[in-house]
Each structure stands twice: as structure tokens, then as C-alpha cells.
Structure 1
Amino acid sequence: MILAIGYGAFGRKVVNCAKKLDKLTIIDINEDVFESLSNGTFNHIVGDAGQLEVLQRAKITEADTILIMTNNNELNRKIAELIQSINDRAYVIVRGIVKYPELYEGLNVDKVIYPLESAAKDVVHEIQKSKLRRKLLDLRKIVEDAKTKYNNLCSDENNLDDCCFDAHFLIMLHNNPDPDAMASAMALKTILDRWGASSKIAYAGKIGYDENKAMVNLLGIKLKNILEVDMNKYCGIAIVDSSSYNSLYSEIDRSRDIDILLDHHKDGDIAANYSDIQTEAGATATILTTYLIQLGIEPDRHLATALYYAIVSDTNNFKRNASKMDFEIASYLQGLMDTKVLEMIENPEMETETMDVLAKAISNRKIIKGNIALSYVGNIKNRDALPRAADFLLKMEGIYTTYIFGISDDNIHISARTKDLRVDLGALMNEAFMGGGHQASAAACIPLGIFESVSDKVSLRQLVEEAIQNKILSTMGIYEDESSNNTSE
């Protein structure tokens, strides 16, 4: 039962919102405020709630939620004191008064509400909605312009040969796309479909990680390899989860206008006719889900599962760069996703080569200064096995930072992980190898260069291992005399 004390302007608004939640009883000293109530709306009692007898008539001991909402600060304090002695199991919500911040000091109240402050937050929320509405209007104009271009070309008999469009839009992903890129593309495609614009999703590189492959297969994500795509057959180009040309297919025509750009990474170099880069978001999927909500589009189970997994993946289970918005959006998606499919995505079968790389990483590891593990795993076909190995070695007792490196496609690939807050791997890998990443995870790719001429595998291993190790350690400020106690295990 809910017991509400005070039926003035504020109390009336709260009661109108809460009356469907549970059985409700109202107390107010002024009989006139109840004149407009129809019989049976809810139970109401006329009386001074500062009197024990009035509270008992309201059956206060049966209330699990008690709201104290009068505009009399002294009365509110007195009622709270009485409640504490009569019903200490109820959840007590009280009306606060800004100029009396210590009004309820020493009392066991669960929540203090400031009406003006709450109203201000509501206004800010509405402002945010208005900004998002403006963005979506701008986005829709871009979409309508592309559709108009398509229709004009296809209606011109002299341009029939130019009308063999594959779709209105090409949605491009960064190289070797991750769950955030794929889920965001699915969401954008859903929006474009709602607006009558066709689209296809393209990527460069390959779909790595067993989890990513499982995501594509289980959710039926339709992707085209960029090598199979003619960008001239699309009226509009959209890019999701990347704002830098460095992470896109190297042969992309940079003179071509980018129509739509959606991302959460900073320091990009791509300009677009419509751009929304929200660096406070932990994932681009979070941004796209707010679009869906604002447009009244409820994602189906596959899309909701993809978006949820994308947010969890990009924020490392909400432990990296997660914002309040990420938590709220993930909570919304939880009620829509397919938990069984999500479990299958998160726990796929492991490829044989990945297991081989893990074995090599373990057997070839070198321990530096007791808490840094470096391991060279030789030639590999699947470079996505490197970060998995780096994560795995980080679980070793006493290990705080890992570097795993191997050779693939005439390049040395390095993957690093750390749980040492004093180490910024993104900055370190950038300084050492022009790589990049986050504080706790980073990667780099450097040409094999002069080592290509070395034919003997043992010599190649020794040279690469020594060169990479020395560069990493010197960048970390660890020099030969300090690393002389290296151990191979």
C-alpha cells in the first residue's frame, strides 16, 4: 500500500502518476482539496498527519511506501519522526526544501525529492530530446536527397546506363569490423528501411574472432566485401563506428562525399554532410539505439541482441569508457534481446589455429620484471588469435601486462593488454610502433621490412623477438640492466 501525505499541487501530480501502481491512501488537513475526487478513486483521510491518531487511521503500518509531500518543512520533519517510530520497514520519500539541507538529518529517510530540481531535470531531458529530434530531421533530409538523386537519374532516359544502382546507400564499416560496427550498421539500415531507402553493408579485411563470426551467422547479418562493391552504384555513402580514413579500406575514393558519419571515437579526419560523433558514448550502438527509440522503432530480437552485445563488447562489460547512457540503453535492450542467442555468440567453438596460438603464447612466454609477459608466436594466419592470447596470459598469477606478437602477411602484428592503471597501452603502442588503442588494450602493425630477407626461421624469430622486445621495454622506460632478470617459462 502507498500512503501519500499532502495533496497540494505537487502531491496531486505525484498521486495522479502513482495511483495505478498500488492501493493508495491520501492524508491532507484541508478537506476542500478532495472535493473533485469521484467516489472510489482512492482512499482519503482529512486530518493532521502530524498526529499519531490520524496516521493510525490511515493504517500506516500496512504501507510499504510513504510519501511526505506537504510544503510545511516543520510538519514534514515531525511526520518523518513519527513514521520512524511506527513503521521502520516502509520506504520513505520526503519533499526537500533547498534552504533547509539538514531538515531530515538523523532520520531514516530513503529519498529526498526537490520538486524544482526534478522539474529542471525534466526540462533538460526534453531539451536533449529536442536536439535529437533536430538531428534526425537533418539525417532524414540527407536520406531524402539521396532518394531524389536516385529517382532523377532513373527517370532520365538518357542516363539509363547510370541507373543500375545496387541501393540508395552503401553503409561502410572499418577494416576487420567488430560487433559495434556491425550492430550499428544493422540499426542504421533499419532506419533507412523505415524511410524507404535501400542499403547494403560493406567491410574490408575479414571478420575475425570466433565471437564475431558467430554473431554474423547466428543473427543473419548480410555483409558484402568492399572488393565486390562499386561505390558509384550508390547514391549515398554512410560510415559507422569510424571517423578516420586510416581505419577504412585504403583504396576508398577520398574525393567522394560522405553523406552520413556516426561514431563515438575522437580525433577523426572524415567530414560528412551529416555527422554525429558522441565521444561520451561507450559504443556507436548506444547512439543508434537512441535514434531508434526517438523514432519509435522497436528493434527486433536479432537487432536488439546485436546492439546489446556491441555495447557490452565495446565497453568491456561496462568497465571501459561506459557512460550512464550506455547503462540505460543496455537496460532497455535487455528486455528485447534473445538471451540464448547472446550466450551462443559469447561462447562459440574455438578454431584450431586459435588454440595453437594460445599454446605457443604460453610455451614461448618471457617474464620481465616479474609482471610483464612477452611472447612471440611465429607465423600466423589468423591475427585475431593474438588479442585472445594476450587476454589469456593476463590471467596468469602476478602478470599485469602482456605483449603477444607474430607475423602475418609480411607484417609483424602486436597485441597488448594490461590491468596496470599506471600503464597507458594506447599511448605506448603509438609511441613505439605508431599503433593505438585504449589504456588497457592496444595493437600495432609494422612492416616486416629488413627481416623479410631472413630465410632461417630460428634466426628470424630471434631477430624479431629481440627487436620488438627491446622497443617495447625501452618505450616503457625499462632498460637492459633492469630486464636482465628475464625468465622464460
Structure 2
Amino acid sequence: MDITKQPVNGLVGEASAYLNQRNTPINQKLEELRNTLLAHRHERHLIVLQDFPDPDALSCAWAYLLISQQYDIKCEIIYAGTLSHQENIALVKLTGLPAQRWTLQTVKNKDLSSYQGFILLDNQGTTSQLVDVIQQARIPLVAVIDHHSLQVELKAEFTDIRPSVRATATIFTQYIQSGLLTLDSSISQHVKCVTALMHGLRSDTNRLMQAQEEDFIAAAYLSRYYDVQLLNAILQANRSKRVMDVIERSLKNRIVQNNFSIAGVGYLRYDDRDAIPQAADFLVTEENVHTAVVYGIVHDEDEDELEVVIGSLRTTKLTLDPDEFIKEAFGQDSSGRFFGGGRTSAGGFEIPMGFLSGGNENSSYAKMKWEVYDAQIKQKLLRLVNPKDNPIQAE
């Protein structure tokens, strides 16, 4: 075949057909999902995202909502945290993506009896405050679709977890290609959703630098429908001053050992949580650094007792598995849930502070609390970075 004589759409079609022929298990998953959706016709479901949803999660939730509408299933997209990354805020505002923030208080005051199921997308329930409350309301888990490594044993009617795929948006693009949703470029909602999927795929593959064959094929398919100008507008959102301040703090506080850059940034407002991964993205670009870890204590000013240590890891080292590294560093809680995990080139962790939560962040108590957590986290990280050294004494 002379590819120089093939039309672009023809190439995409041939690539998709080739992919489908190679991946019979994927086709089986598609049939399972169709059957699951058929079994839940006329129901009302919740799509639960991680507390701080990223473009991959947001776009896939919208795609699932549109797919579910074909089966007369009404879905609501919810998350418990906040949108603080400038690109996530721009994505939701500019596309009208129908995601709602439900705080713990909101969900506790809601009558959940009208919902017949919930869905986990781009997460497995370990990064959402809402899951426990929803499960306590005896709402069954209908589906889990994710590209991260398995975090917990899940009992769902439908499960599609593929760590080999770089973005959950790739999985949903395959669903759409299979006919679960017929895209129409004259329908504004379809164009905006596809643009969101392209952003999610691009974001989770580091601008396609870490994309695999399936991701490229998915991107080629989405290229038929997405709005280039809209995507550019989302990507050009400016960093806030508070994000820049956190990046500055990470630079001042970082220690560099064995090509690892580790920085604690102290206390952050809940709304500024996404400054942590942005600081990690920045630190990993330093010369002679292949891995950056940034962490801080995130507190909610509206709920004085809500504090959690949140951290992000970014790496360019091909032999470093973020999921394994974070799980080995921080382990599991008493119920067997890991405090964090990851995917290719990136990971994150959340450690509840328990009875130590609360208190004025400017107080001497808060300063002592930060010093204890800062030392403990450094110790856990540096025992992997420098296993022969005393991490507390490391400079």
C-alpha cells in the first residue's frame, strides 16, 4: 500500500480496523458495556470523578453522559473537591461541560434514593470523598473505566481498566468509534466534547510525547471533529499569582539528590491544590533532574478540620514506575487502600491528617505540624532515593 496516495480519513479508517482486528478483548469489552447500558435503561446514575478532576476525567465523564443518553440513562457528573488548575477552569467554562461540585455536606443532605447506580471514571474510588457516602446509601457500582493500575478490588457490573493505555480518553474514543455514539460535527455539544477528549488525551500523554499506538489512532479520529480554536483558548489560560507563588516556594525549598528533586511547599488553600502538580511539572525540567516530587498540606478554609497532605510526582525516567514508587514509599491505610498511585510519568498521593487536622495555619502549632510531616515525607521518599544514607541528615 502506498500511503502517500491514501486520503487522511482512509488512513484513519484502516488504522482503526487494524486496531480492532488486533484487540479482540477490546471488542468484548465494548459488547459488555453495551449490554450493561441496555440493562440500565431509563435509570438515573451518578458519574463520580476524583476530588480534583483533570481534563482526562472531565472529558470522559462528558462522553459517558452522551453515550448513556442513547440508552435513556440520565447521568450527573459530580466531584467533591474543586477545579483550581487554570486549564481545567477554562475547559469547563469555555465548553459548558456539565460537571457539578458536591461537597460532603451536600451529598449527606441529598436524597440519593432517586439514583440507581454510580460510575467511576479515570479513578477507582480511592481519590474521591464521595464514594463512601454513596456506597452507604446502597447505590450499586455499575461501571469502572480507568487507565491507572488496579488500586483496590472492585465489585462493579462492568470493569475496563487498562494501564497500558495512556489516557482514559483513548478508551472512550474507541467506544465512540465502535458506534456507542455517532458524532455529528453540526452538533455543538459533540464538537465541544470531542475537543475536551482531545485535551484530555493530549494532557495525559504529555502532549502526545508518551502516546502509544492506540492513543495516536484515537487522536487521529478525534481530529475530524474537534475545534482547534477552542482547544487553543483552553491551553492559553494563564497561571494565577498563587500558582506562581507555590512554584517559587518549591524552587526555594527543593533538595536534589540522585537526580530527584523533592520540595515541600507548606500550607495551601483548598482552591490552590492544583498548584502542586504544576510545581512538579516545573521542577522536573531542571537540568540533571529526572524526577520531581512536590507536596504540601491542603486545608479547606470553610471546613477547619479538613486537612490532607497532597503530593505529585513527575518523571522523565523510563525505568521509574510512578505507581510502584509511590505505593512503596507510602504504603496503605488500615483498610488496605494505597495512599497514592500513578501512571506512566506521573503520580500522586493523599495522606489524611486525622486527629492532627485543624488549627490556625499561622500558629506555632501549625508550624510544628508542618515540620513533622515534612520530615516524615522526606524520610519516606529519600529511603528509596538514597537507601544507604540517613535521609534526615541528607542535604
Q: Tell me the distance in 2 between the aligned counterparts of 1:140 and 1:456.
A: 52
1:253 to 118, 129, 135: 135
Q: Tell me the distance in 1 between the aligned counterparts of 2:94 and 2:78.
A: 18
Max radius of gyration: which structure?
Answer: 1
Q: Tell me the distance in 1 between the aligned counterparts of 2:55 and 2:19.
A: 33
Measured on the aligned residues, the alpha-carbon RMSD in Å equals 3.5
5+ residue gaps, structure 1: 1-13, 15-64, 67-90, 93-117, 151-167
CA drift at 1:245: 5.0
Q: Tell me the distance in 1 between the aligned counterparts of 2:67 and 2:277.
A: 33
**Comparing 187-196 and 125-134, the one that deviates more:** 125-134
| 1:387–1:416 contact (8 Å) kept in structure 2 | yes
| 1:138–1:274 contact (8 Å) kept in structure 2 | no
What is the identity, as a one-letter code, of the residue corresponding to 1:384? D
Task: Summarize the alignment of residues 145-164 of structure 1 with structure 2, pairs less than 5 Å apart.
Answer: 147=42
CA drift at 1:310: 1.1
How many pairs does the alignment contain?
A: 351
Verify: 1:472 aligned to 2:363, yes or no: no
Q: Tell me the distance in 2 between the aligned counterparts of 1:465 and 1:292.
A: 45
User: Deviations along 1:333-370, whole A, 9 cap, x unmatched?
Assistant: 1121111111122221212211111111112222335x
Task: Summarize the alignment of residues 242-321 of structure 1 with structure 2, pairs less than 5 Å apart.
Answer: 242-244=123-125, 247=128, 249=130, 250-253=132-135, 255-267=138-150, 268-295=152-179, 297-298=182-183, 300-320=190-210
CA drift at 1:133: 6.2
5+ residue gaps, structure 2: 6-14, 185-189, 300-306, 332-339
Larger RCO (alpha carbons 8 Å, 6+ apart): 2
Give the alignment's TM-score, normalised by structure 1: 0.63
Verify: 1:360 aligned to 2:241, yes or no: no
Aligned to 1:235: 116
Cα 1:411–1:269 change in 2 (3 A) is same
Q: Tell me the distance in 2 between the aligned counterparts of 1:376 and 1:247.
A: 23
Q: Tell me the distance in 2 between the aligned counterparts of 1:308 and 1:188.
A: 15
**Comparing 330-339 and 258-267, the one that deviates more:** 258-267
Q: Tell me the distance in 1 between the aligned counterparts of 2:178 and 2:18.
A: 18
2:224 to 335, 339, 350: 335
Q: Tell me the distance in 2 between the aligned counterparts of 1:129 and 1:375.
A: 41
1:424 to 308, 321, 332: 321
Aligned to 1:165: none
Task: Summarize the alignment of residues 359-438 of structure 1 with structure 2, pairs less than 5 Å apart.
Answer: 359-369=248-258, 371-381=259-269, 382-409=272-299, 410-434=307-331, 435-438=340-343
Q: Tell me the distance in 1 between the aligned counterparts of 2:118 and 2:355.
A: 39
User: Deviations along 1:195-245, whole A, 9 cap, x unmatched?
Assistant: 333322122222231111111111101122333554321234333223345
Secondary structure of the residue aligned to 1:367 is strand
Secondary structure of the residue aligned to 1:271 is coil
CA drift at 1:392: 0.7
Aligned to 1:325: 214
CA drift at 1:185: 1.3
Give the alignment's TM-score, normalised by structure 2: 0.76
Cα 1:360–1:270 change in 2 (3 A) is same
Secondary structure of the residue aligned to 1:405 is strand
Cα 1:281–1:461 change in 2 (3 A) is closer
| 2:51–2:127 contact (8 Å) kept in structure 1 | no
Cα 1:277–1:471 change in 2 (3 A) is closer
Q: What's the % identity of the aligned pairs?
A: 28
Verify: 1:345 aligned to 2:234, yes or no: yes
